[in-house]
Structure 1
């Protein structure tokens, strides 16, 4: 059983524009389900700890037509998170950064999160992020001083899908910044799209890719466990 740390935005509010955002429900619950199906454990963290703010749009009829994510949210499974500063990164086999516009505000430049990401990566763990979740990976630098995503094939939420009413409220364009550092791909012809930048870095494009993203992460973690078992038997 692998342990995965899911990191959520604590939330962001712009009162002047009546704008509230945070983490995206499908991008936590869909991958977590896939991981748990394979016997892996998911634990939650956020910048502030406690109950992080979910983006209300992610629980709307349009985003959650069957109400499956609303039901999971109402169950309280995302009500308690560990503050990222209190996370022991070496306990985890992977980190999964959940999207939602909130990630661009409080996750992107958080140095405590960058440190956790680096420890997981340097110990050989998997660093994964979906939709707007790659935002902090843009600013995470290795001990050699290079950006973690430098030169790698990556994906994330594309410019042409950003709601026009929020574009001017966002601190940066995720696609533009990913394109400056890595080899950005969107793959418009695919309903869901994820990509491995290398054997340790996985990114997913959007909410529609969340389930596939979870399956890919679960598959890789299971493969790693089997390889470790086989090596131990030698």
Structure 2
């Protein structure tokens, strides 16, 4: 009797064993499971506010994804053709990221070369040092997207980060220029910058060929505040105030280190490091006003 029951159960045992040998459906061809990024799923990384470009195809349209801000950073580790070290301004990233994140916006990072951007210790104040352990931000700064990976239809605003390297590689990059102007003209979005990040605006042109800054109130880090007798200054390919004015912009700056911003339509600029939070908040305010009325599409100039 016992042997008979064993023979009757044998087919069930064999079926169970075979089922146990079937690969996980997530590994089967044509079925893709969650992408894992440094221990986080892609969904968790997006909730944290950033998904590294190495694990996300940012080129595909995401028309339901209306709450993203694109941070534009420079890749250069040196000033011009010298060996003088250069860096992004870490605090200008953090203060703006905190403001956008608190307002419910996700942030992506792009740089001319993609990958990790330079952060020099001297550009990280004591108050910012603990944030170097904040993986929500650091993961994005280690894995910035390349410009070709970016789908500009995803973004409500671009934010040009300053730092000593912001004047190299970003202002002349044609794909970054097209991204910014798509966000501004086709998405009806905001173009913003802080400190040396204003260098990224000087070559932007509207569809009619006019400079974006023409006739607009603009601020940024002016050359009169630079240490002009230092070797780094001799590497600058252009001067921010002089170039903005040559493009028809109305450049304003204050003496001293106090925060100062200019808001002219959908262009927001800040003079210095202390202005980063105010720039981000001004961008949020504009986007909230837009959200209270039908979306603007195909705006030519504002």
Query: What TM-score bracket applies, with the shorter chain setting the length?
Result: 0.7 to 0.9
Take 1:43 and 1:151, find their aligned partners in 2: how far apart are those partners? Answer: 30
Contact 2:80-2:168 at 8 Å conserved across structures: no
Deviations 1:69-102 (A, max 9, x none): 4444895342111101221111101111111122
Q: What are the superposed Cα offsets for residues 125-146 of structure 1, whole Å, 9 maximum, x if unpaired? A: 1111111112121111122111
**Structure 1 contact 126–201 (Cα < 8 Å) conserved:** yes
User: Partners in 2 of 1:153 and 1:14 — Cα distance?
Assistant: 28
* Distance in 2 between residues matched to 1:34 and 1:122, nearest whole Å: 24
Are 1:200 and 2:263 counterparts? no
Larger-gyration structure (1/2)? 2
Shift of 1:23: 1.6
Partner of 1:41: 106
| Equivalent of residue 171 in structure 1, options 237, 259, 263 | 237
Give the CA deviation at 1:196.
1.2
SS at match of 2:220: coil
Counterpart for residue 217 of structure 1: 283
- Within 5 Å, which residues of 2 pair with 1:8-87? 8-14=73-79, 17-59=82-124, 64-66=125-127, 67-72=129-134, 75-87=138-150
Deviations for 1:28-69, whole angstroms, at most 9, x for unmatched residues? 11111011111111111111111122244312xxxx132244
Equivalences, count: 224
Is 2:135 the partner of 1:135? no
Structure 2 gap ranges (5+): 1-65, 296-302
Q: Which residue does the alignment assign to 1:226?
A: 292
User: Is the Cα–Cα contact under 8 Å of residues 153 and 195 in structure 1 kept in the other structure?
Assistant: yes
Partner of 2:48 in structure 1?
A: none
Contact 2:160 2:194 in 1 (8 A): yes
Within 2, Cα distance between the matches of 1:57 and 1:151? 36
Q: TM-score, with normalisation over the residues of structure 1?
A: 0.87
Q: Mind listing any 5+ residue stretches in structure 1 that lack a counterpart?
A: 230-234
Q: What do you get for the CA RMSD once the two structures are aligned? A: 2.2
More strand by share: 1
Higher relative contact order (CA 8 A, sep 6+): 1
Using the alignment, how far apart are the partners of 2:270 and 2:103 within structure 1? Answer: 19
Q: For 1:202 and 1:220, locate their aligned partners in 2 and report how far apart those are by CA, in whole Å.
A: 10
CA contact (8 A) 1:21 1:102 kept: yes
Structure-2-length-normalised TM-score: 0.68
**Cross-structure match for 1:232:** none
Aligned counterparts of 1:112 and 1:93: Cα–Cα separation in 2: 17
SS of the counterpart of 2:139? coil
CA separation of 1:75 and 1:3: change in aligned 2, threshold 3 A = closer
Alpha-carbon distance in structure 2 between the residues aligned to 1:14 and 1:121: 30
Deviates more, 1:71-80 or 1:19-28: 71-80
In 2, the alpha carbon distance for the partners of 1:220 and 1:191 equals 23
Per the TM alignment, residue 18 of structure 1 is displaced from its structure 2 partner at its CA by 3.3
